[in-house]
Structure 1
């Protein structure tokens, strides 16, 4: 398996850093759809960067944007619910035994659907207000803190199936995800 290099910025405007990760997610999803690509490497890279990205956003970015009134409590909570949904789809992908099955392809598409929805919404309802309502210096400070946490989580291997399973279980306990018997409705 080849190792996919995940960029590790240490500073920058938090909005631009987050958008760069969104483009990376889209690129990794294309790799996961490509039967000639190293899908295992793409799955591992996407899992690590997706978890590090979302956890750093929820810890460092959303609370700060709330206090600056750039986003509402509802928008932050909705973002967290969408992270939880994406993490649940990611877990289904990680639990696929091989990368050459219909189950794997279906799991990729379900994750892609959840991710693409979240990316579009986040860029419009959270990042656009951050661009206009938050000072450049505050976005730089936020970028540094977000990148530091994201890089630390990447170093810890945060995308392991065990860690993703723990995160999804916590999301269920916190009510961010419907109970399993509600999923079918």
Structure 2
């Protein structure tokens, strides 16, 4: 666990909750680049938030947006692939012993590249349609489900090295990580 505040929303518009997490990711990435920060604590916090956020989106948000016709199968699957790529880049950061090496800086740079790409794409191709196609009642119900699952994952300490390894291995097995093959 970490003492960095990851937020504990209990409800809200799912779009706003996801955007709040996106801003947290950006702050944590900035802190990971800052050598005056406790980078080990920051990477643990980032890992916890990344896994919790992705799991909650994949369990509730993407399927509901698909059934509501806000996003198609391709967008949802692409989001899952990008979560897997983020977890893979995260794993590289978590596996490094020290946080004051060139290898750490390089791994953080790759993580930032993958995650920032996903945040931008998700905001454009998933959150905009969710705003336009899904009513406030459904977004509120989805927000509560997202927040509950996210908090459950955080309480379960989902960002451990062991768990991230397991998630990446499962993503490989499921074909979500096609070694640098970009199908866009």
**Interval of TM-score (by shorter of Structure 1 and Structure 2):** over 0.9
Contact 1:61 1:146 in 2 (8 A): yes
The residue aligned with 1:60 is 60
Contact 1:2 1:38 in 2 (8 A): no
Q: CA deviation at 1:2?
A: 7.1
Q: 2:21 and 2:156 mapped to 1: Cα distance?
A: 18
Q: Deviations over 1:31-63 (max 9, x none)?
A: 000010111111010000000000000001000
Q: Deviations over 1:110-130 (max 9, x none)?
A: 000000000000000000000
Contact 1:51 1:158 in 2 (8 A): yes
Q: 1:133 and 1:95 mapped to 2: Cα distance?
A: 41
Moved over 2 A (4+): 182-185
The residue aligned with 1:174 is 174
The residue aligned with 2:38 is 38
RMSD: 1.5
Q: CA deviation at 1:5?
A: 1.6
Q: 1:61 and 1:78 mapped to 2: Cα distance?
A: 14
Contact 2:2 2:44 in 1 (8 A): no
Contact 1:48 1:159 in 2 (8 A): yes
Contact 2:60 2:142 in 1 (8 A): yes
Q: 2:39 and 2:107 mapped to 1: Cα distance?
A: 13
Contact 1:68 1:134 in 2 (8 A): yes
Structure 1 unpaired stretches of 5+: none
Q: 2:3 and 2:139 mapped to 1: Cα distance?
A: 31
Q: 1:60 and 1:91 mapped to 2: Cα distance?
A: 24
TM-score of the two chains, using structure 1 as the length reference: 0.96
The residue aligned with 2:139 is 139
Counterparts in 2 of 1:58-137, with a 5 A limit? 58-137=58-137
Q: CA deviation at 1:6?
A: 1.2
The residue aligned with 1:26 is 26
TM-score of the two chains, using structure 2 as the length reference: 0.96
The residue aligned with 1:12 is 12
Q: CA deviation at 1:183?
A: 4.2
Q: 2:112 and 2:166 mapped to 1: Cα distance?
A: 21
Q: Deviations over 1:120-156 (max 9, x none)?
A: 0000000000001000000000000000000000000
Structure 2 unpaired stretches of 5+: none
